[in-house]
Structure formats: C-alpha cells, structure tokens
C-alpha cells in the first residue's frame, strides 16, 4: 500500500502544539511554509481565547524543530479598505515565492462581517506585511497562487462556496495585477466518494516536468461528522485550466490519534509544502485543528499516481 499512500508521517509528530506558543491561545494549526534566509519558516494560524485567528512565524534549521516568535506577526487589519473583511480574524495562509519578482506572496482567508473572503499580501523580509487586495465574492477561501506567471498573468486557484445547491469546487482565475481577476472556470468538482461534500486547494502548485502538481483536500460527510483527506491532481504547464489527471482515491487521511482527536476531529489540512533538493516534499498540515504535523513523500510518486490512476478493484 506504500504506493497508494505515499506520505510517511514524521515519527515525532506533532511538531507544534499549543504549549509551544509563548503567549495564551486556544490552538495552533494550518501553517504555510517556505524557506527564507537559510532556514525553514512556518506561518502559523493561531486561534486566540476569543476564537479569533492571527498569524505567527516559527523558525527552524532542520524543518522539524521549530521556535515560535514571541508575538503575532499579522493580526486583523484596522485599515478601512480591509477591516470589514478581517474583523474576526485572518486564517489559513499559503506562501508562494515568485522568483522573478523576488517576492513572497501570501494568500489567506479574511473572516469578516460578510463571511470568509480571500486576501492577498506580499513580503520581501517577513517583517513587513503589505496587503494588496481582497478578491472574489463572500464565502470564498483556500486560495493559492502559482509560483510563476503564465501568459504574463498571475494564476490563482480558489474555492468559492457552492451556489444553487452545488457543492464547493476548485476554480481557476487569471489576473494582470492581483486585484482584478477573471474567473475562468471549474478545475475539479466533488464527485461521489471520499470528497463528495467539497474540495479545496491545500498548498501552492509545484512545477514538475509532467505538469503542475496540486495537492487538495476533499471532505466527506458521515453520520459521525466530516472527514478531511488529501488528494492530488496534475495540471497542464501552459494551460493550467486543463487537468491531466487526478487521484480518484485519497492519498493521505487522518489515522494518528493527534489527527483523529481534537477541536475538530478527523482532519488533516495542509497549507504548506517544501520541495527538497532530493525530490522529497515536506508537507506541513494542521491535525484536528489542534496542532501542526509534517509528513514526507517523493514528488514523483505523487505525480505517477495522478497519471497512472487505475487502482479500482471492482
């Protein structure tokens, strides 16, 4: 079963828990990830005692042992342009490094009086956090930016809420300025099975020779509640609205106690991934909305699952 389930959990998981946050909070989960200035960096979602979320940075030399900053980096904005959309918190960040601009773009979910909306910001130093825009309609989240422009346009995947009874799906969008976006259409929609309720992107797309590798989550509703699990798909390098292939089965799901039990049971929710030089992906994920863990897999094991999907036994 190793091929069908390519990710291997770090034996010392979880790597960050509430006790590791050096100030009072309820929980920590759903961390973006990147390498910056010679170290691993996680951008943590920390929920305070009111139930509002903010973002805090953690640093590591090896990608496993992290030290959390003593105070938050990003809290809800008080700027008139952004305050209504973030008044109840900033959540679930993703980090995309654009090499040609030498800029780290951060997509996040702002939770405000109109519900969740997608925010885009940037930084060059992880000191300054410069907001760019709030995009899309209300009830939108799980946005990730591609790490390079395609046809001179920024490309973004997001997850608008379902309309007229439809289940939320993954959409693709194009923009010349990160402010005005053209929503081109649905990339992948829920199907009966492990992700029948809704789908959403996890980490920014990873460029491979075969296409853009995209890791996403699917949600199944059961009599005992929701289960969040992980799948993967491959998009065309030049026309990423075209899906080359995807896994019909989930490739990672809650099994360990720290994934099964917590504030929200049965959840694995990656927001960050780092591709190492040896071809291994470090995937950082929130577990049960209560802690942060890491699992690893070979990049091309996942790519092959997307291309050669034929594992039905019936």
- Please state, in angstroms and rounded to a whole number, the distance separating the CA atoms of residues 13 and 251: 19
Domain-located, residue 181: yes
The 10s digit of each residue's pLDDT in 268-297 is 999 999 999 999 999 999 999 999 999 999
Domain-located, residue 248: yes
What is the Cα gyration radius of the chain? 18
Band (pLDDT 50/70/90 cuts) for residue 305 is very high
Domain-located, residue 207: yes
* Bond preceding residue 132 cis, omega within 30 of 0: no
Average pLDDT, the chain: 95
In the predicted structure, residue 161 carries a pLDDT above the cut 90: no
Domain-located, residue 7: no
Band (pLDDT 50/70/90 cuts) for residue 65 is very high
Q: Can you give the pLDDT at residue 142? A: 97
Domain-located, residue 9: no
Q: Which residues contact 189 (CB under 8 A, 6 or more apart)?
A: 166, 167, 169, 170, 199
Domain-located, residue 97: yes
* pTM as predicted: 0.96
The 10s digit of each residue's pLDDT in 11-34 is 999 999 999 999 999 999 999 999
Percent of the chain at pLDDT > 70 equals 96
Q: Can you give the pLDDT at residue 163? A: 59
Domain-located, residue 194: yes
Handedness of CA 117, 123, 126, 127 (dihedral sign): negative
Domain-located, residue 6: no
Domain region containing 46: 14-307
Average pLDDT over residues 142-157: 97
Average pLDDT over residues 204-223: 97
The CATH number of the domain holding residue 221 is 2.115.10.20
- Number of neighbouring beta carbons within 10 Å of residue 177: 10
- Please state, in angstroms and rounded to a whole number, the distance separating the CA atoms of residues 142 and 238: 22
Band (pLDDT 50/70/90 cuts) for residue 137 is confident
* Cα 63 from chain centroid (whole Å): 17
Q: Are 45 and 53 in contact (CB under 8 A)?
A: yes
Count of domains observed in the chain: 1
The 10s digit of each residue's pLDDT in 245-257 is 999 899 999 999 9
Q: Are 202 and 209 in contact (CB under 8 A)?
A: no
Alpha helices in 176-310 (DSSP H): 257-260, 299-307
């Amino acid at each position: 079963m190793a091929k069908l389930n390519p990710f291997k959990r770090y034996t010392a998981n979880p790597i960050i828990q509430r006790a590791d946050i050096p100030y009072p909070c309820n929980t920590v989960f759903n961390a973006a990830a990147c390498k910056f200035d010679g170290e691993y960096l996680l951008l943590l979602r920390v929920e305070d005692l009111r139930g509002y979320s903010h973002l805090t940075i953690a640093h590591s030399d090896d990608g496993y042992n992290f030290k959390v900053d003593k105070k938050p980096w990003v809290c809800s904005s008080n700027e008139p342009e952004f305050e209504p959309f973030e008044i109840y918190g900033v959540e679930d960040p993703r980090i995309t490094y654009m090499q040609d601009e030498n800029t780290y773009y951060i997509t996040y979910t702002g939770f405000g009086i109109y519900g969740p909306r997608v925010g885009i910001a940037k930084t060059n130093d992880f000191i300054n956090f410069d907001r760019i825009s709030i995009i899309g309609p209300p009830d939108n989240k799980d946005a990730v930016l591609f790490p390079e422009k395609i046809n001179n346009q920024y490309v973004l995947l997001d997850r608008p809420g379902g309309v007229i009874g439809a289940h939320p799906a993954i959409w693709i969008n194009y923009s010349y300025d990160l402010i005005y976006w053209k929503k081109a259409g649905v990339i992948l929609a829920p199907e009966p099975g492990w992700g029948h309720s809704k789908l959403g992107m996890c980490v920014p797309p990873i460029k491979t020779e075969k296409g853009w590798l995209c890791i996403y989550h699917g949600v199944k509703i059961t009599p005992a509640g929701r289960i969040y699990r992980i799948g993967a798909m491959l998009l065309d390098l030049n026309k990423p609205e075209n899906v080359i292939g995807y896994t019909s089965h989930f490739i990672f799901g809650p099994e360990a106690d720290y994934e099964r039990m917590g504030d929200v049971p049965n959840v694995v929710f990656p927001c960050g991934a780092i591709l190492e030089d040896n071809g291994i992906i470090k995937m950082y994920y929130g577990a049960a909305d209560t802690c942060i863990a890491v699992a690893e897999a070979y990049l091309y094991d996942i790519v092959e699952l997307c291309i050669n999907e034929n594992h039905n036994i019936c």
